[in-house]
Amino acid sequence: MLVQTLTLILITTPELAPLRSLLKGLRTNKAGQAFFESLYRSWSHNAVATLALCLLAQAYHHARDLVQILYAPRSRNGRGVGGKAHIACNRH
């Protein structure tokens, strides 16, 4: 619940616009990369928060991979092919 609240605050609060800009500079800014990675470690336990973080940071390929793993087609035994796997953060 805390991660969901922090996600909402990060996405909507005008005072955090500089942090959002830092995340958007993920590919070119070492500070943005470090900030993303530290948030990702904490937020990766919540799929929706992780997806929101990836989209906010414009890490679209990673967001796509996350969706594919979390919502993989079901196999015959009713279990997801990908299951609820943890996705490692890849540096670009």
| Mean per-residue pLDDT of the chain | 83
Q: How confident is the model at residue 38 (pLDDT cuts 50, 70, 90)?
A: very high
Using an 8 Å Cβ cutoff, are 42 and 3 in contact? Answer: yes
pTM of the model: 0.74
| CA 6 – CA 39 distance, rounded (Å) | 10
Question: Taking the domains of the chain in order of start, what are their residue ranges?
Answer: 21-92
Give tens-digit pLDDT for 47-84. Answer: 999 999 999 999 999 999 999 988 877 655 555 444 44
Q: Report residue 80: phi and psi, to 5°.
A: -65, 140
Between the alpha carbon of residue 32 and those of residues 9, 11, 12, 43, the distances in Å are: 18, 16, 19, 16
